[in-house]
Amino acid sequence: MDLHGPGSIDPLPGNVVYIDMDGSCRNGTGTTAGTMETKMSFIIDPGDYTFEMLLAGNNQESQVDTLDVRIGAVFNRQIVLNWTAPLALQSFDFSVATSTTETIELIHAGGDDQGILIDAVRLRRN
């Protein structure tokens, strides 16, 4: 993973600092990319939730990128973005029936040095 923004590679000028989920990882096999997982687990009580992220395509190399988003067993979504996708809010609603404790994982497929760009992540109870 790489941090991009002013003063470095900046494929999204004017957006301060953001994470490239597949940056600087080329290992010759094209299979390694970034994974982020919250260090802390979250207690998720029964109810309705919204998971939101500000995402963009890599804006550097012509390709499609894939990001798996997991909140334990209660939410799993695969996001596929074209390299030209502008920075935009991705919002997903889901419901939880029983209380659970989970982490949030963001898992990027690939290993080509350019991945989905993440500017913000938020989980909220509705």
pLDDT above 90: residue 17: no
Report the pLDDT value the prediction gives residue 1, as an integer from 0 to 100: 60
Q: Where in the sequence is the domain holding 9, given as residue range(s)?
A: 2-125
Q: Among 111, 126, 119, 125, which Cα is nearest to 27's?
A: 111
Dump pLDDT digits (tens) for 60-98.
Answer: 777 888 999 999 999 999 999 999 999 999 999 999 999
CATH number at residue 44: 2.60.120.260
Burial class (CB in 10 A: 0-12, 13-18, 19+), 22: buried
Number of compact structural domains in the chain: 1
Positions of E strands within 5-116:
18-20, 35-37, 42-44, 47-56, 64-71, 75-82, 88-96, 100-102, 104-108
Share of the chain above pLDDT 70, in %: 83
Report the pLDDT value the prediction gives residue 52, as an integer from 0 to 100: 97
Report the pLDDT value the prediction gives residue 28, as an integer from 0 to 100: 54
CB 4 within 8 A of CB 23: yes
Mean per-residue pLDDT, 50-65: 88
Residue 20: pLDDT band by 50, 70, 90 thresholds? Answer: confident
